[in-house]
Amino acid sequence: MNPPPRKPVALVIGAGDATGGAIARRFAREGFAACVTRRSADKLQPLVDAIHAEGGEAYGFGSDARKEDEVAALVEDIESRIGDIDVFVFNIGANAPCSVLDESARKYFKIWEMACYSGFLTGQAVARRMVARRHGTMIFTGATASLRGAANFAAFAGAKHALRALAQSLSRELGPSNVHVAHVIIDGAIDTAFIRDNFPERYALKSEDGILAPEHIADTYWFLHQQPRDAWTFELDLRPWSERW
């Protein structure tokens, strides 16, 4: 008796409680096996349980995306045990404001490692598989800092600018191999506990559609994956209707 066919995999690197989790749930609803990662696997259990409760398939992995050996082991484990990675989403943030006068070299480097270098390591590992199959979608989550560096955000802006450049290079190199690479700029506050607890005035705009809903961001990621290859989008920016830009 033949084993059941394996589902395609949507791998979300940095599946937090808001955007990353919403993306994983969206792809699981479309029949993907959602593979989600954070440095602590325990923090993923509520998301994995929620996807299972919705009738989907999900797996949580504790993995440090800054460690090349852990990244290689993660991709090999998923592809050998669960399925081919058809969709890759890089969603690590590392937004930690600080005056450039006070920023330590150690913290600056750590932010770059998290928000950019880990994007290279994980993106490279997955791209090698996708190019061999000549199929796949890679989406990198950007921010306002991807386009402009605000005061007190030198480290974050530098890392996000670099991640955008990485995505551009990947798109130009991998597109001819039928791998769609996209970069999404999230230009606005997202409906998260962090915004609720630290910026109550901004969070109050939720009732007026003034902050981004993670579920609507996830819909956009699904849209990008579904695009026909004669009309691929590389960069797409999302912001609430009332956000100035």
Closest among 243, 231, 217, 200 to 89, alpha carbons compared: 217
Residue type, 151: A
Please check whether residue 67 lies inside any domain of the structure. yes
Please check whether residue 184 lies inside any domain of the structure. yes
Residue numbers of the domain that contains 64: 9-238
What is the C-alpha separation between 182 and 96, in angstroms, rounded? 25
Task: Name the average pLDDT for the chain.
Answer: 95
Q: How many CA atoms lie less than 13 Å away from 233 in the CB half-sphere?
A: 16
| Residues 79-92, mean pLDDT to the nearest whole number | 97
Distances in whole angstroms, Cα of residue 22 to Cα of each of 4, 14, 34, 56, 191: 27, 12, 11, 13, 11
**Residues of the chain with pLDDT > 70: what percent?**
98
Task: Give 244's pLDDT tier (boundaries 50, 70, 90).
Answer: confident
Task: Give 95's pLDDT tier (boundaries 50, 70, 90).
Answer: confident
Q: In the prediction, which pLDDT does 91 show?
A: 97
Please check whether residue 120 lies inside any domain of the structure. yes
pLDDT digits (tens, 9 = 90+) for 130-149: 999 999 999 999 999 999 99
Contact 214, 238 (CB under 8 A): no
What is the C-alpha separation between 231 and 229, in angstroms, rounded? 5
Q: What angle do CA 133, 130, 168 make, to 5 degrees?
A: 135
What is the C-alpha separation between 76 and 68, in angstroms, rounded? 12
**CATH code of the domain containing 50:** 3.40.50.720
Please check whether residue 3 lies inside any domain of the structure. no
Residue type, 24: A
Residue type, 99: S
Q: In the prediction, which pLDDT does 208 show?
A: 94
Please check whether residue 147 lies inside any domain of the structure. yes
Residue 221 burial (10 A CB sphere; 0-12, 13-18, 19+): buried
Has residue 128 got a pLDDT over 60?
yes
pLDDT digits (tens, 9 = 90+) for 162-181: 999 999 999 999 999 999 99
What is the C-alpha separation between 224 and 171, in angstroms, rounded? 13
Task: Give 94's pLDDT tier (boundaries 50, 70, 90).
Answer: confident
Q: In the prediction, which pLDDT does 6 show?
A: 85
- DSSP secondary-structure letter at 30? T
What is the C-alpha separation between 116 and 143, in angstroms, rounded? 12
Task: Give 2's pLDDT tier (boundaries 50, 70, 90).
Answer: low
Structural domain count of the chain: 1
- What pTM does this model have? 0.95
**Residues of the chain with pLDDT > 90: what percent?**
89
Please check whether residue 234 lies inside any domain of the structure. yes
Task: Give 3's pLDDT tier (boundaries 50, 70, 90).
Answer: low
What is the C-alpha separation between 117 and 159, in angstroms, rounded? 8
Please check whether residue 52 lies inside any domain of the structure. yes
Please check whether residue 245 lies inside any domain of the structure. no
Count of Cβ atoms closer than 10 Å to residue 229 Cβ: 9
pLDDT digits (tens, 9 = 90+) for 189-198: 999 888 898 8
Q: In the prediction, which pLDDT does 1 show?
A: 54
Assign 240 to helix, strand or coil: coil
Q: Which two tokens stand for residue 31?
A: 């029949």
